[in-house]
A = this chain, B = another copy of it.
């Protein structure tokens, strides 16, 4: 079979290697998998909503018919109000109307579609270092050049973004920069949230450096509702006064159920049209039934209740993971550091430089032998990192992601214990 250029560019996702390891060793504690907590998945809330929806024949049939490419109007209204509420303002304050709202199959579909309509091979996308490996795979499949911008515990570093853009200007490539991708809350993989004061700074840099109009910011706020200690900062989108710099995407996958896969995005008007045209060729609308179900759940309070439950569940697990790291890794390797996220599903661990963490390393293999799996830092870094000396979160060779999402609490703790033992053996 002769594949297209796109077909040939598609690589294997590196995490597939981890999935294969996990499949071969089902007894292993995977702190690699980014799945959500199993026990708290909202079967009861979903059942109530499905019963309410389907026992009204007219409403049930409307949900089972085709919808529109943009998505169910009622849910689009609800998510617009919801985002404004999270930003402690009104939709008008965000200069957003219903025409800016799109429903997608998870936020991943938006990441793919937006990238596809913007990126030609050789175009540049800036990402955090480290950043979300699935999206980096998506970018690679489009032939994008991925350039990393260093981060620290307070997220993307504006000075490092400025230096990276200056470097690209010097090399004559500034006009190839199509966007900055930023997971702005409890980032995957590092768990960090970009600090409030940095948010307008990042925007200002993108607007200043853009040659014909601002450089686009793709703000992925998938984890914003999973903040376990009070209210997190407003979105970067909130600070985008012109409304044309930021695309904001969110999802119900983490905060309710990934099995329903309902995501949503707020797009500047000039991007809505090409994204809708592309979506028309993908599926002419994400599953309508799921959108009606989520609307019911937002209206009947089931969604809000579930978010409250999840915060409690995950906070307990996050604190257990941090305590286990303190107790065992702190003893096994006093130089090790790790992030202390305000929410999300991930903790980022930085080991001393002499301890290699890659998927062929001694540490990785010892961990698998002991029955624990992590995501090596190597999967989370782009190839290009011009300002790497600014990095506050370590480099690809000696870092790793731990996820406390899917494992029950006692296995999170036991997984960290095994991991620390493996580190100790290398000491």
Contacts and interface: CB of A to CB of B under 8 A. Distances in A.
A258 interface: yes
A277 interface: yes
A244 to B, nearest CB: 8
A410 to B, nearest CB: 18
Question: Chain copies in the assembly?
Answer: 2
A42 B36 CA distance: 31
A423 to B, nearest CB: 29
Interface residues of A, number: 77
Interface string A163-177: 000000000000000
Nearest to A72: B259
A375 to B, nearest CB: 15
Contacts of A399: none
A67 B138 contact: no
Given A51-B51, A117-B4, A60 B36 contact: no
A258 to B, nearest CB: 4
B283 A117 contact: no
Interface in A24-77: 35-36, 38-39, 41-44, 46-47, 50-51, 54-55, 57, 60-61, 63-67
Contact of A55 (B5, B7, B47, B292): B47
Contacts of A117: 3-4, 6-7, 10
Given A105-B105, A119-B4, A281 B66 contact: no
A274 B3 contact: yes
A120 interface: yes
Contacts of A261: 283, 285-289
Interface string A1-27: 111111100111100000000000000
A277 B10 contact: yes
Of A3, A11, A13, most buried by chain B (CB within 10 Å of CB) is A3
A3 B116 CA distance: 9
A272 to B, nearest CB: 11
A334 B259 CA distance: 55
B281 A282 contact: no
B67 A259 contact: yes
Given A46-B60, A50-B50, A65-B406, 6 more contacts: A3-B117, A43-B55, A43-B57, A64-B259, A65-B258, A261-B289
Interface of A: 1-7, 10-13, 35-36, 38-39, 41-44, 46-47, 50-51, 54-55, 57, 60-61, 63-67, 105-106, 108-109, 112, 116-120, 123, 134, 137-138, 141-142, 178, 212-213, 216, 253, 257-261, 270-271, 274, 277-278, 280-290, 292, 406
6 A-B pairs closest in CB distance: A43-B60, A7-B117, A47-B54, A10-B277, A64-B259, A259-B289
